[in-house]
Amino acid sequence: MHLILASQSPRRQELIQLTGYSVEVQVADVDERSVTHPDPAMNVVETAVLKAITIAQRHTVPQQTLIVAADTIVALNRQMLGKPIDAREAVEMLAALRNRQHEVHTGMVVLDLRSGKMLKRVNTAVVTMRHYSDAEIDAYVASGDPLDKAGAYGIQHPTFQPVAVLSGCYTAVMGLSICELVRTLDDLGLPRRADLTAIRTAHYLASQDYPCPIFNQLLDKSPESC
C-alpha cells in the first residue's frame, strides 16, 4: 500500500510523510472556484472529492493505492476566504481577520483505487488572530507567503505568527490534519506506521504548543496503550 497525495502544497507534502507510508505526489489540476457550495465545511469536502476523482481517472488499472486529497478554506462570519488573487486582496483579508475569531475548515478525502471506497472527513478549527499592525501586514504580504494560502496567512510562519488562540488541530490549519489522516488509515485497517512523537512535534511552533484533541485519541489507540 502506498499513498498518492493530490496536492502541490509543500505543507501537505511535508505533513503526509509523517504517516510512515511511501508517498507519491500528483497534482490535481482542477478549478477550485468551480465548487460553489455555500457551506464552507461542505465546500472543502466537495473540492477534495474533485481533486481525488481527477487523480483516480488517470489510473485505469486498479492498484493497491490510496489517494489523499485535501482543501482548506477560512470562514469569517461564514464568508469564505480562499487564496488571495493578489497582494491587495491579501492585505484586505489580513486586515479583516485581525483581532477577530474565525473558522478554518479542512476537508479531506481518502479514496481506495482498488475498491472505489471513499472516506470523507472535515476538520474545523477555531482561530483567533492577534492584533498585528498595518506595517506587519505589509511586510508579511511583501514576503509573498500569503498568496498561496487560504485567508492569506500561514499559521506556521516563524516571523509573522498571526494566531493568538487556536482550538483544533494545528496541522489542519496548515492544510492537512495529519492526526485525522492517521485516524482514517486506522479506520481502514492499515497498520499504524506513523511516528506519534514526530506528529506531536509537528504541533509546535517555536516555543508555542498547540494541543490537538485528535492526537490524544491516537494515543488511546496506539499499540503501546493496549
Known catalytic residues? 71
**All 3 cell numbers of residue 209?**
504548543
- Nearest in space to 7 (alpha carbons), one of 125, 114, 134, 107: 107
Q: Any idea what the Cα angle at residue 198 is, between residues 192 and 199, rounded to 5°? A: 70
The per-residue b/e assignment along 157-166, b for 16 or more CB within 10 angstroms, e otherwise, is beebbbbeeb
How far is CA 167 from its chain centroid?
Answer: 15
Q: Rounded distance, CA 147 to CA 102, Å?
A: 19
Q: What letter represents residue 93's amino acid?
A: M
Q: Any idea what the Cα angle at residue 222 is, between residues 216 and 226, rounded to 5°? A: 115
